[in-house]
Structure 1
């Protein structure tokens, strides 16, 4: 593919992520994307071939955005609780990245009862994020910044649940305070409720 083709594909995937976050990754057909972009379906098909390839490209691009906006900035913080707090703060910020909220939450709800490469790609992305969260919780415990008897897997579950609930409340129920409540809940879980925010 030429550089022009690569740039066009990147631009299309960028728009497709936003559309998929609103309309669903399963419902986003080549024809629907062509309609949104006001271009020909054949032009989209030339770049992606199939709907599945488009879906996989969307998941890969959303994973890159999550890495760029959440994981890499968090990694620049000191190991332990500062990094864990930064990770959670940035993850909550990420819920505002796409028009329809977290693309992975939406895709997981659509695909959790199905099988196939797209479901596997979404599950893999979520698993990787959880693994990094668990790593940071374990490190904070080893450094003595969390109680020595902290149930790491339980805390990871609860922290991730705060993100999911915030996305649900913000997107489905239109609660404007959802992200603030998520931050307060995370602060409470991490034993820093005396602070009003992460930054």
Structure 2
């Protein structure tokens, strides 16, 4: 990397930390410049707009997520062991940033705010759901899930388990919330949604 690229990488790294604390929608070039001891114009020159900064933060976050959650799971055998590794890896990843999973939080922040940032957020969310669906489909092929498992619904419910747990994280111990999540996960694997025979 050249010096400019190194500086930009450091800015994005710091921005990820800040966004995890205050939210991606509250991330501003001015506040970030103060945090990094840079001039606002100097930092602005690396991105051009607040939205571009936010978009690149999302891209970097998705890359880290892929490296720390998805790729390790893909090295495991096909089936429930891989699906479980992805799910537990997601939970572990949430503790790597001060405010938890930045992508998941941004889904709530930008769901009603059209634009490039919302598009980036939901692209990464769809990609993650796709990985869960693929892992579940392979578990069907190995015979560990029933042949008539509704794959899309299963992935939807897995995402819902984690998102709904956010409600409890402010007033229940983290280990207790995680136990709730894993009990729900295991229950869902033993009782997966089935395809409607009319479909």
TM-score w.r.t. the length of structure 2 is: 0.89
Q: Residue in 2 aligned with 1:175?
A: 173
Asked whether the 8 Å contact 1:24–1:106 carries over to 2, the reply is: yes
Q: For 1:166 and 1:38, how far apart are their aligned partners in 2? A: 37
Give, in whole Å, the separation in 1 of the partners of 2:127 and 2:100: 19
Maintained 8 Å contact 2:78/2:142: no
Residue segments in structure 1 that go unaligned for 5+ positions in a row: 193-199
Question: Aligned with 1:148: secondary structure?
Answer: coil
Unaligned runs of 5+ in 2: 192-199
- The Cα of 1:169 is off from its aligned counterpart by 2.8
* Alignment correspondent of 2:92: 93
Deviates more, 1:181-190 or 1:90-99: 181-190
2:54 match: 55
**154-163 or 176-185, which deviates more:** 176-185
1:148 aligns with 2:147: yes
Q: TM-score, normalised by structure 1?
A: 0.89
1:42 offset after TM fit, Å? 1.7
Give the C-alpha shift of residue 175 in structure 1.
3.4
TM-superposition CA deviations, 1:70-119 (whole Å, max 9, x none)? 01001000011111111111011111121111111221111100111110
Please give the secondary structure, in 2, of the residue aligned with 1:144: coil
SS in 1 for 2:25: coil
- The number of aligned residues is 190
Q: What is the match of residue 197 of structure 1?
A: none
| 1:122 has 2:104 as partner | no
